[in-house]
Structure 1
Amino acid sequence: MAIEKGIAHRAGAFKQSNKEHKHGRHRSKGSISVTTKGKVSVKNISKRNKRELNREQRRNQSVQIRQNKRDEVLAKKRSLGGMEFAPFLICVVPLNKDIDPNTALTLLCQCDEEAIVSRTTTGVTNISMPRFKQRFQFVVQDKDHDFAVLDTLKVADTVLFLLSAATGIEDREAVVDDWGNSILSTSFAQGLPTPLVVVTDLESIVPKKRNEIKQDIQKIVNKWLPNEKILVLDKNVDGVNVLRKIGNQKQKSVLYRDHRPHLFGEEIEYVPDSEGTLGTLKITGYLRGTALSVNQLVHIPGLGDFQLSQIDAPNDPHKFDKSKDKNLDSENQAVIRVLERCDPTKQESLDSENIPNPMDAEQTWPTEEEMETAEKEQKLKKVKKVPKGWSDYQAAWIPDEDAEFVLDESEEENDEDEFMDAMSEEQSDEEDNYKDSDTVAESEVAVNDDKYDKDLDIHAEKQALEKLKAAKSDRDFPDEIDTPLDTPASVRFQKYRGLESFRTSPWDPKENLPSDYARIFEFQNFYRTKKRVLKEQEDKDGALPGWFLTVHVKGVSQLLWTNFQETKAPITLIGMFPYEHKMSVMNVVLRRTHNYNLPIKSKERLVFQCGYRRFIVNPIFSSHTNGRKHKFERYFQPESTSVATFYAPIQFPPAPVLCYKEVNNKLVLIGTGSLLSCNPDRLVVKRIVLSGYPFKIHKKSAVIRFMFFNRNDIVYFKPVKLRTRMGRTGHIKEPLGTHGHMKCIFDGHLNSQDTVMLNLYKRVFPKWTYEDLIVSCVKDSMEN
């Protein structure tokens, strides 16, 4: 076809445009628009719908955002300790038992002539400073009651650590004694509020040595608080500086405390009911944290969980007017306003456990034919015992040569079987020799050592030695046990199963659950529920933080309150989230401390402080690893990290965890950590290892002995894979003879010094031993 003269060809929309060479030169907007030929990306089209700001408008927008954030921070800082908000709550803690904190508190009360000082019946000292327009509350707890100090630190805004320069003249390390070190370690593990370190008695030192002693004390403080500068408290001017520092320093955030409403009791009143043994406890103080609703549950350490009946708003007795220089409510303090009364339809229940219905598992009533068949099966003589609650998968491990299955009456194995250790004759002889030498030593004791022997518990010493031996054996030969000679291995280990791979083999978390699992509560998505609960707490209606309130706690036992008063412990009220009164399976991560060097056995009685709650349980320990299955640990070894699992009320993380053990009638801190999850489906799998030794080796084939002692056990465990210490894998081919020898095939040449192992697994569960640490236990710890 001929092209007409004077008409040029124009490329269409689908003309191919090749990529240009990257010459490295900058392209202008005009060249880019020419290249694109009017084509616009989808991102640019979407941006056109938004308002486009020029450079000046963007600058103004960033300035406004920055100014709003600054104003928010300043408003929050100015509200702390102000006239319309709660005063600073300071807990005075000496780091040496020889220091009297009341001396320093007296100096703080007398440092300003215009200060208004008052004391409550519970020992709270209120200081109002007109010159700073701030208010302060100081609390001093008994040094012999560690739990009282910890409970006060849970709700305090600032902790004032006291040091004395006079105690460090001869020995600088004596400035902080053992009690001070323990308080520091526990308070750090629990969640330390805003710290402030003050040194007293510096004026009693020779002027030439004051600066040197102060520098030495600063070095000691830097080990615990590297960014904290110490202050001196010897004069009135020093007291004013300390109060100014408390009012101006940046407050440290403690998440598990700030997310919940909390109140420190300044005035306490108990009103018994007209009938019955219960009463109402009225707690008056300043609300801190978040809003408190009358329909939510509250927790009082040492007393337990309770419901509220109403919340009152009395006039603030510590409020003052700077112009008049007196209290505003001095003439009219009896006015009380009722803020909120409880609504029984909206109030949370105190039911902590689910009540299972035993008829839920029943489907239909058996027919006559089924009952006759069951009677005939019961008359059969040939039976095979199986553990109670076994599934079809587990029952398949036992060969059923036309045998019927019956339930085993024993639900759990004996504790001796649970923690069975391989002990040779030499070890038993060593124990006998130890006992003989012990008796000889007792006969040769000198008269001067009688007093020492009276204080020494020989039985406890022997138990500690046995525990050390068992823990050492478990550490050197983990999970290895001896196959019993008098009991078939197929019966002794019938609750165990073999796994192709511990990491990838499937295990149903809902299989063969104990009856206690019917009493607990479980979340479909725990972290999504936590996010929703925290969001609801921020938008909750009720008494706002900073208000002076009187909270009516109903249902407090009169006997419980009488015993609690004898302990002289502080009253701290903490608001609980929804579901935090329900029981579930809790998992906490623990790290061993250096206070206790002996191993801790699983299912041993321990005292836990998880967040605001304190209780007694018998946990089981497991490895802190990724994956769905976690190996059970018989001992919580020193200098190790493990996960403790137990039944306890639900809590939402973050929550610090402290673990104590009772040693010689005293509680010793053995571990610290944090709350991991609330997950009943966490698989804690116990492993046992049966070991055998090569007898004859021919290339990849070998005869193994001492793993089993009869032919039936070899046939029973034939499907389980074998492993060796040197990394070989294999399987049982056939039994040889009737005394436990078996022919095995491996993936390589077997070493004569190698050990053949067979791994078996079963899931373990904690025992329901939860017990609230309330008045009786706190009273015992104080007496000790």
Structure 2
Amino acid sequence: MQQAHRPGTLKQSNKVHKSRHRSKRSVTSAVKGKISIKDVVRRNRHILKKEERRHQANQIRKNKREEVLSKKRALGGGRNPPFLVCVVPLNAQLDVQSALAILRTCSEGAVVSQSENGILHISLPNFKQRFSFICPEVDNDFSLLDALKIADTALFVCSALDEPMDEWGERVLALAMAQGMPTPVVVAMDIEGVHPKKRTSEKHNVQKLISKWLPEEKVMQLDKSSDGLNLLRRIGNQKRNVIHHREKRPYLLAEEVQYVPDTEGQSGTLKITGYLRGMPLNVNGLVHITGLGDFQMSQIDGLDDPHPLNSKDNSKLDSMDAEVVKRTVLQVADPAKQESLQCENVPDPMDAEQTWPTEEDIEQANIETKNKKMKRIPKGWSDYQAAWIVESDAEGEGSDDGSEEDEDDDNEDFMSCEEDNSDQEEKEADNDFESVTESEVGPTDEKYKMTSSWDPKENLPEDYARIFQFENYDRSRRRVFKELEDSLVNMYGFYITIHVKDVRQDLWKAHQSANANAPLSVFGLLPHEHKISLMNVVLKRTGVSNEPIKSKERLIFQVGYRRFIVNPIFSQHTNGSKHKYERFFQPASTCVASFYAPIQFSPSAVLCFKEKRNTKLQLVASGVLLSCNPDRLIIKRIVLSGHPYKVHKKSAVIRFMFFNRDDVIYFKPCKLRTKYGRTGHIKEPLGTHGHMKCVFDGQLKSQDTVLLSLYKRMFPKWNYENCIVTDKGSQSEGMEA
């Protein structure tokens, strides 16, 4: 058979045409018969037609609408807790009981009852909703904040006859917005008492005044029963504001409180009864009681709802004796699984004890000893300064000294009495030096940089041994929230009794005498939220005061549900690993405050108060929780300045920066700069009074100033105090360490 021709190595091959604009025919012929790998593995998807897409959109819209309506129907009715409304006057002279009297009689079928601590309960069977109203004390900031902290709705009441809003009203709105505003509702009373021709203008004036604080809120009228019914309808159907630090934790408002002392009389059990809200509550966890502190629980009981929706159920409960009310034990604490109240780490003093070296350690030490040589350096020099000296070995120096001694012996006849002083000076000079060992490899540039990295674990204070730290704060936070959401036992809306054990009797009596009428709230703590760590919060000045706040000044903080006293340090809120220390928190500025406090997972609102002499507390800043990170580097910069004494080309004699020769030698490796932009370094000290010879990259001017920047890491002081009891006259009293 004839063999086919094969082209050789000299066969000419022309370059293909690289045109970007190919015709459709050429593209089709090029890919003819080829199938994309994505088309092979892709499933056959049904392409929706126009009518099918329309039905799909309608179904999605319907599901979302039903989900929203089901959430609204669940609130305030059935086994869910009633709407908790905090009634706050915008004028300190206004009595809100007149507004509650209208709400009591707004509907004929309303079921009205009242708790022992003054909480008003109104049930509307036709609305299938229940409402609870609390009235915090006027002119008590902490009582107001505690009530707004757990309320679903904030009802602000003003009057058209008097001044709608005074200084107290502005303070109330400022505190509520800084802490986290619940769903707001504003009502105006006494409009019927105004002349009919002036009612519209008067209501418009109130609306204009409220719009400065709440621009989206429409002022409602509350003078008649129909107005009260419209108000309750709006409270039950409006959209809820989400307060994250509250929704992520279980909490309740105390309806009934009973203290049962132990046999010894020093402590006792505090029984707190109320509607559970928020997330599930675990009896083995810890609870925080506002104004008292953190405690453990012994058990949780379930009770019949004393304020049901229907009047028939209410009449049955009224006829029943208190002892006959059904009580069910829901959870009992397990001592083996119960979380400890230990908040500080106990450092072991023998943790860093010297252990017996192994054979490998001894062999490595012998190798390092062989690779070292002797070097003479001035006394007092550090290893960093000694690394810059390059000298010969100590043996060579000894041979040179021996030759000099021989020469002195030969010329002994020519020595005078003045040479005795020279011998003494040489001995003193020898005493100023010492011998140190150095590795044969010598210092490297990576080991001795001017711009070395700052180790966050280096030279930590003793207080750091007492705190706890997360390996990854954000990851731990997500894990804790996920475990809480996946909890199987959900008692949301249950009317329960919490048995809080080991409550000191003197502490409870002091709280009752100071805050008898204040609302008592309980928050369930998440895991690790009782342990102490370094907390960093971002603060912004409120503009109320123009006085600068000094670092380490005594301040009162409220972070989420917790209130305490600390002396924070301030730093700049910037990106990067190092943050500049601020001596003062200036007005109209933003900074980060760092202090030791119990761990709390973000997000959480932060309020900062300052104590004034002979006055009440003043809100000076507000912000949010940034992190609980002890590794935040807060760097303080100190600038030393000196002045040229003699200038010669690029070298100059500088004085007034140091006043000791040893200080000049110690800071010799540091870099210098001037106000006119020159850079340089210290060459050598001159004399004994701190003068030094420096070399720069250009000639200095006589009016220039030489600067040396020094840096130091700053740490807060351990001065955490619980805000135990707050008095009306002086909020700083009754605070314990």
In the other structure, the counterpart of 2:399 is: none
Deviation at 1:252, TM superposition (A): 0.7
Q: Does 1:662 align with 2:611?
A: yes
Deviation at 1:16, TM superposition (A): 10
Q: Does 1:763 align with 2:713?
A: yes
Q: Structure 1: which amino acid aligns with 2:510?
A: N
Quick one: structure 1 residues 506 and 327, their matched pair in 2 at CA, closer, same or farther if it must change by over 3 Å? farther
In the other structure, the counterpart of 1:67 is: 62
Deviation at 1:777, TM superposition (A): 6.7
Deviations 1:220-257 (A, max 9, x none): 11111111111111111111111111111111111111
In the other structure, the counterpart of 2:290 is: 301
Deviation at 1:687, TM superposition (A): 1.5
Q: 2:593 aligns with which of 644, 652, 674?
A: 644
Q: 1:617 aligns with which of 566, 576, 584?
A: 566
Contact kept? 2:307, 2:314, Cα under 8 Å: no
Q: Distance in 2 between matches of 1:397 and 1:198?
A: 77
In the other structure, the counterpart of 1:465 is: none
In the other structure, the counterpart of 2:354 is: 363
Deviation at 1:746, TM superposition (A): 2.7
Quick one: structure 1 residues 79 and 394, their matched pair in 2 at CA, closer, same or farther if it must change by over 3 Å? farther
Contact kept? 2:605, 2:625, Cα under 8 Å: yes
Equivalent residues in 2 for 1:19-58, closer than 5 Å: 21-22=20-21, 35-48=30-43, 52=46, 54-55=48-49
CA root-mean-square deviation: 3.3
Q: Structure 2: which amino acid aligns with 1:208?
A: K
Q: Distance in 2 between matches of 1:270 and 1:779?
A: 26
Deviation at 1:755, TM superposition (A): 2.4
Q: 2:217 aligns with which of 216, 228, 243?
A: 228
Quick one: structure 1 residues 776 and 501, their matched pair in 2 at CA, closer, same or farther if it must change by over 3 Å? farther
Q: Distance in 2 between matches of 1:653 and 1:644?
A: 15
Contact kept? 1:97, 1:177, Cα under 8 Å: yes
Aligned-partner SS, 1:128: strand
In the other structure, the counterpart of 2:94 is: 99
With structure 1 as the length reference, what TM-score do the two structures score? 0.76
In the other structure, the counterpart of 2:474 is: 527
Deviation at 1:780, TM superposition (A): 3.9
Q: Distance in 2 between matches of 1:142 and 1:562?
A: 20
Q: Distance in 2 between matches of 1:299 and 1:214?
A: 43
Q: Distance in 1 between matches of 2:648 and 2:193?
A: 86
Q: Does 1:538 align with 2:488?
A: no
Q: 1:113 aligns with which of 83, 108, 112?
A: 108
Q: Distance in 2 between matches of 1:653 and 1:61?
A: 39
Q: Distance in 1 between matches of 2:58 and 2:39?
A: 27
Aligned-partner SS, 1:320: coil
Deviation at 1:268, TM superposition (A): 1.3
Q: Percent identity?
A: 57
Contact kept? 2:302, 2:330, Cα under 8 Å: yes
Q: Distance in 2 between matches of 1:537 and 1:206?
A: 57
Q: 2:662 aligns with which of 690, 712, 716?
A: 712
In the other structure, the counterpart of 2:632 is: 682
Paired residue total: 645
Q: Structure 1: which amino acid aligns with 2:285?
A: Q
Deviations 1:686-739 (A, max 9, x none): 211101123344454433222122333222211111122343322122334443
Deviation at 1:779, TM superposition (A): 7.9
Aligned-partner SS, 1:291: coil
Aligned-partner SS, 1:675: strand
Deviation at 1:537, TM superposition (A): 0.9
Equivalent residues in 2 for 1:341-360, closer than 5 Å: 341-360=332-351
Q: Distance in 2 between matches of 1:58 and 1:344?
A: 58
Q: Distance in 2 between matches of 1:571 and 1:19?
A: 81
Q: Structure 2: which amino acid aligns with 1:524?
A: E
Q: 1:337 aligns with which of 317, 328, 338?
A: 328
Q: Distance in 2 between matches of 1:588 and 1:670?
A: 14
Quick one: structure 1 residues 534 and 108, their matched pair in 2 at CA, closer, same or farther if it must change by over 3 Å? same
Aligned-partner SS, 1:765: coil
Quick one: structure 1 residues 501 and 362, their matched pair in 2 at CA, closer, same or farther if it must change by over 3 Å? closer
Contact kept? 2:154, 2:184, Cα under 8 Å: yes
Contact kept? 2:301, 2:496, Cα under 8 Å: yes
Q: Distance in 2 between matches of 1:133 and 1:328?
A: 19
Q: Distance in 1 between matches of 2:618 and 2:387?
A: 46
Equivalent residues in 2 for 1:333-732, closer than 5 Å: 334-364=325-355, 505-566=452-513, 567-568=515-516, 569-665=518-614, 666-732=616-682
Gaps of 5+ in 1: 5-14, 169-174, 368-382, 387-391, 400-498
Aligned-partner SS, 1:166: coil
Q: Distance in 2 between matches of 1:709 and 1:525?
A: 47
Q: 1:318 aligns with which of 282, 303, 307?
A: 307
Contact kept? 2:252, 2:274, Cα under 8 Å: yes
Equivalent residues in 2 for 1:149-298, closer than 5 Å: 149-168=144-163, 175-298=164-287
Contact kept? 2:145, 2:176, Cα under 8 Å: yes
In the other structure, the counterpart of 1:452 is: none
Deviation at 1:781, TM superposition (A): 1.6
Contact kept? 1:319, 1:329, Cα under 8 Å: no
Contact kept? 1:110, 1:236, Cα under 8 Å: yes
Deviation at 1:69, TM superposition (A): 2.9
Gaps of 5+ in 2: 5-13, 359-377, 390-446
Q: Distance in 1 between matches of 2:386 and 2:476?
A: 40
Quick one: structure 1 residues 354 and 776, their matched pair in 2 at CA, closer, same or farther if it must change by over 3 Å? same
Q: Structure 1: which amino acid aligns with 2:353?
A: E
Q: Structure 2: which amino acid aligns with 1:118?
A: S
Q: Structure 1: which amino acid aligns with 2:527?
A: P
Q: Structure 1: which amino acid aligns with 2:287?
A: V
Q: Distance in 1 between matches of 2:618 and 2:631?
A: 31
Aligned-partner SS, 2:552: coil
Q: Distance in 2 between matches of 1:748 and 1:116?
A: 90
Quick one: structure 1 residues 31 and 158, their matched pair in 2 at CA, closer, same or farther if it must change by over 3 Å? farther
Deviation at 1:276, TM superposition (A): 4.3
Contact kept? 2:124, 2:309, Cα under 8 Å: no
Quick one: structure 1 residues 626 and 726, their matched pair in 2 at CA, closer, same or farther if it must change by over 3 Å? farther
Q: Distance in 2 between matches of 1:558 and 1:142?
A: 25
Quick one: structure 1 residues 297 and 693, their matched pair in 2 at CA, closer, same or farther if it must change by over 3 Å? same
Quick one: structure 1 residues 582 and 292, their matched pair in 2 at CA, closer, same or farther if it must change by over 3 Å? same
Deviation at 1:274, TM superposition (A): 2.7
Aligned-partner SS, 2:556: strand
Deviation at 1:742, TM superposition (A): 2.7
Aligned-partner SS, 1:224: coil
Q: Distance in 2 between matches of 1:780 and 1:398?
A: 61
In the other structure, the counterpart of 1:9 is: none
Q: Distance in 2 between matches of 1:238 and 1:749?
A: 84
Contact kept? 2:77, 2:309, Cα under 8 Å: no
Deviations 1:570-590 (A, max 9, x none): 110111110000111111111
Deviation at 1:95, TM superposition (A): 1.4
Contact kept? 2:265, 2:505, Cα under 8 Å: no
Aligned-partner SS, 2:91: coil
Aligned-partner SS, 1:766: coil
Q: Distance in 2 between matches of 1:76 and 1:265?
A: 25
Quick one: structure 1 residues 134 and 736, their matched pair in 2 at CA, closer, same or farther if it must change by over 3 Å? same
Q: Distance in 1 between matches of 2:305 and 2:79?
A: 10
Quick one: structure 1 residues 782 and 516, their matched pair in 2 at CA, closer, same or farther if it must change by over 3 Å? closer
Aligned-partner SS, 1:663: coil
Q: Distance in 2 between matches of 1:17 and 1:52?
A: 42
With structure 2 as the length reference, what TM-score do the two structures score? 0.81
Aligned-partner SS, 2:212: helix
Q: Distance in 1 between matches of 2:122 and 2:385?
A: 73
Aligned-partner SS, 2:644: strand
Contact kept? 2:130, 2:309, Cα under 8 Å: no
Q: Structure 2: which amino acid aligns with 1:135?
A: R
